[in-house]
Amino acid sequence: MGQVTGEAQLGRSASRRGSPTAVLVVVLSGLFTVSLTITVLSNSLDRIAGDLHSTRATVLWSITGPMLAFGVVGPAFGKAGDLWGHRRVFILGLAGAAVFAALTAVAWSAPSMIAFRILSATMGSATGPSAMAFINRMYPPSERVRPLGYWSFVTAGAPVIGVVVGAPLVALAGWRVIFIAQAPLCAAGALIAARLLPETDRQENVRFDVAGAVTLGLGASLALIGINRGNDWGWTSPQLVGCLALSAVLLGAFARVERRATEPLLPLAWLRRRNFVAPIGAQTLANFAYMGSFMLAPSLLQNGLGYSETHSGLMLIARPLAFALAASRAGYVSGRIGERNSGIAGTTVVVVSMLTFASLGDASGGLVVIVALALAGVGMGLAAPAMIASVANSVDDADLGVAGAFQQLMSQLGAVLGAEVMQSVQLAGSGTGTTMADFSRAFVVAAAVGAMAVGVSSGVRRQPRVASSVLLTDA
């Protein structure tokens, strides 16, 4: 069989199936369906705990567990897609998410519901790196920012939308109905994907790096769990120290495994590439501020400023809307000023948003709050697609899946760290965490971390190295 480049192969395969636009719609729809439900229960934990005769602290793991799984398992699915084809991995992920969504709908206890939610998110996490890999293969480097803007909106916006619409949906129809609806949607998505998605290049006679996947997965899981439980355990507690110490040991073992592996899960040489490390670092730091502020915003609006739950929910919509608008224009902006400057500009706007939040007082009006929320959405909408494109353009086409999944993992780490640190700073002041001064301190910390993101963004080279096309065998 003849040898062709990955883009050429995918292009010919796409012509036999769906157009690039159809492929984009299919993969982003599947990713949205999975991502939306990760946070959809977050404002209804008390109601669900009562229904399952459990406690809020226990049911909280139906949110925390899927969030951790979605980030941690991604690199393994990304590598699997690079090796065996992203079409089959994407379909497998949606089908698995459908099965476990259906089981969630009939869960008989809190532990069973939590287990099914985690398994559903674990399978659904395959859609993120596969969707990114399809986008990066369907579009040349110079045109990737625009579709990656849509990808960024889905990955960052769907969980936000889930928080906003979750409480009304649960109050109207009950929490089980959400998963009764999700199951057939995921199943239908898998069938449509099987019909329309093209085959991607596959690598033959290559072994999957099991040891690397296990050590990275366990090490990252322990780090995320430790950070997530820091406020409850105490930041100097033996549990937290032990969790983070064991995480460090496992991540060290991962580095040793990758040095010896013939086909590593994450080639350590990537860590010496500025246009791989800098954009991932910038996105992680920006996500600290972006997602940390998002987790704090409902409490700020309700406890600090006295808005009702409904009023707060309507105001919070400003951020995903602003993100969507900015992300849709990110390609145009990057084309004019470059990915590096887009990253710098976007992260700077995030910093301005955090400072606006920090300046709020008891008498602040709703318009100022909406401006602060919108600025955060605009900033990440501009920065994230540019940083994602920089990473994609820094690796070979055959490695796009695992590179995107690693970026997803680090963004998740930033989100968890931001949420926990900002909440700790908020509670460390008056003790109640409900005064505007308490919230202001947390947002000042977010602004400082955001400023670090601006500095790291400047490390991206002005003209990134274009990803090389690898020789692949026809599927």
Between 298 and 429, name the one with better pLDDT: 298
Most confident of 59-73, 98-112, 193-207: 98-112
Read off the pLDDT band of 20 (50, 70, 90): confident
Check whether 135 has a pLDDT greater than 70: yes
pLDDT of 433:
64
Check whether 467 has a pLDDT greater than 60: no
Check whether 6 has a pLDDT greater than 60: no
Spatial distance between the Cα atoms of 185 and 170, rounded to a whole number of angstroms:
18
Check whether 206 has a pLDDT greater than 80: no
Check whether 130 has a pLDDT greater than 90: no
CATH 1.10.3720.10 fits 273-468, yes or no: no
pTM of the full structure: 0.76
Q: Which of 4-18, 141-155, 223-237, 242-256 has the lowest mean pLDDT?
A: 4-18
Spatial distance between the Cα atoms of 256 and 253, rounded to a whole number of angstroms:
5
Secondary structure, 3-state, the chain: CCEEEHHHHHHHHHHHCCCHHHHHHHHHHHHHHHHHCCCCCCCCHHHHHHHCCCCHHHHCHHHHHHHHHHHHCHHHHHHHHHHHCHHHHHHHHHHHHHHHHHHHHCCCCHHHHHHHHHHHHHHHCCHHHHHHHHHHHHCCHHHCHHHHHHHHHHHHHHHHHHHHHHHHHHHHHCHHHHHHHHHHHHHHHHHHHHHHCCCCCCCCCCCCCHHHHHHHHHHHHHHHHHHHCHHHHCCCCHHHHHHHHHHHHHHHHHHHHHHHCCCCCCCHHHHHCHHHHHHHHHHHHHHHHHHHHHHHHHHHHHHHCCCCHHHHHHHHCHHHHHHHHHHHHHHHHHHHHCHHHHHHHHHHHHHHHHHHHHCCCCCCCHHHHHHHHHHHHHHHHHHHHHHHHHHHCCCCHHHHHHHHHHHHHHHHHHHHHHHHHHHHHHHCCCCCCCCHHHHHHHHHHHHHHHHHHHHHHCCCCCCCCCCCCCEEECC
- Side-chain half-sphere of 438: how many Cα atoms within 13 Å? 20
CATH 1.20.1250.20 fits 7-199, yes or no: yes
Spatial distance between the Cα atoms of 373 and 354, rounded to a whole number of angstroms:
9
Helices (H), 37-174: 45-51, 56-59, 61-72, 74-84, 86-105, 110-124, 127-138, 145-173
- The tokens for 315 are 């105001």
Q: Does residue 65 sit in helix, strand or coil? A: helix
Could you tell me if 93 and 133 are in contact, meaning their C-beta atoms sit under 8 angstroms apart? no
pLDDT of 4:
39
Distances in whole angstroms, Cα of residue 58 to Cα of each of 299, 311, 407, 420: 21, 28, 30, 18
pLDDT tens string 219-266: 888 887 887 777 778 778 888 888 889 989 988 888 888 888 777 777
pLDDT of 468:
37
- The tokens for 316 are 């919070």
pLDDT of 354:
94
Check whether 5 has a pLDDT greater than 50: no
Going from N- to C-terminal start, the domains of the chain cover: 7-199, 209-262, 273-468
pLDDT of 348:
95
Q: Does residue 36 sit in helix, strand or coil? A: helix
pLDDT tens string 397-451: 777 777 877 887 788 788 878 887 888 888 776 566 677 888 888 999 999 999 9
pLDDT of 11:
47
Task: Answer yes or no: same fold for 7-199 and 273-468.
Answer: yes
Average pLDDT score over residue span 325-339: 80
Q: Which of 104-108, 131-135, 283-287, 352-356 has the lowest mean pLDDT?
A: 131-135
